[in-house]
Amino acid sequence: MADNTRRSRPLLRTLVGEVLRRHRLEQGRTLAEVAREACVSVQYLSEVERGRKEPSSEILAAVCDALRIELADLLAEVGRDLVVDRAPVIRLEAARLRRAQRPQRGGDVLLMAA
């Protein structure tokens, strides 16, 4: 049975777009400025930033150059954001160990009077 309460993982393209937008806004630059320098259309860059398009490595490199950031730094930042958004992973061995270390509770007692 699937656990419906578990959050789904964000799409990589969404996180890439968020990081690119964050850098652009921190620099106080417009979509048009960055798009022109990266040789992509404003519409395409907007869709990349909104996570609607998955850019090629060449496009990512061009946008990173336009933003004056390293591609490796972009990917590292995306990786950090991905870890923050992820639910914690609990190893099976650790869960078993914690369960074994918990004090055992007695069963519930039901008293009935006649």
The mean predicted confidence, pLDDT, of the chain is 83
Per DSSP, the three-state class of 70 is coil
Show me where the domains of the chain are located: 12-86
pLDDT band with cut points at 50, 70 and 90 for residue 97: confident
Q: Residue 1: what pLDDT?
A: 41
14-23, 43-52, 100-109, range with the lowest pLDDT: 100-109
The average pLDDT across 82-105 equals 65
The average pLDDT across 62-83 equals 94
Asked if the model's pLDDT at residue 113 lies above 80, the reply is no
Indicate the pTM of the whole model. Answer: 0.68
Q: Residue 69: what pLDDT?
A: 97
Per the model's pLDDT, the better-predicted residue between 51 and 99 turns out to be 51
One-letter amino acid for residue 101 of the chain: Q
CB 21: neighbour CB atoms within 10 A? 18
Q: For residues 14 and 72, give the distance between their C-alpha atoms in angstroms, rounded to a whole number.
A: 17
The average pLDDT across 49-73 equals 96
CB 8: neighbour CB atoms within 10 A? 5
User: Six-digit token pair at 102?
Assistant: 């918990």
Asked if the model's pLDDT at residue 63 lies above 80, the reply is yes
Class of domain 12-86 as given by CATH: mainly alpha
19 closest CA partner among 105, 110, 84, 96: 84
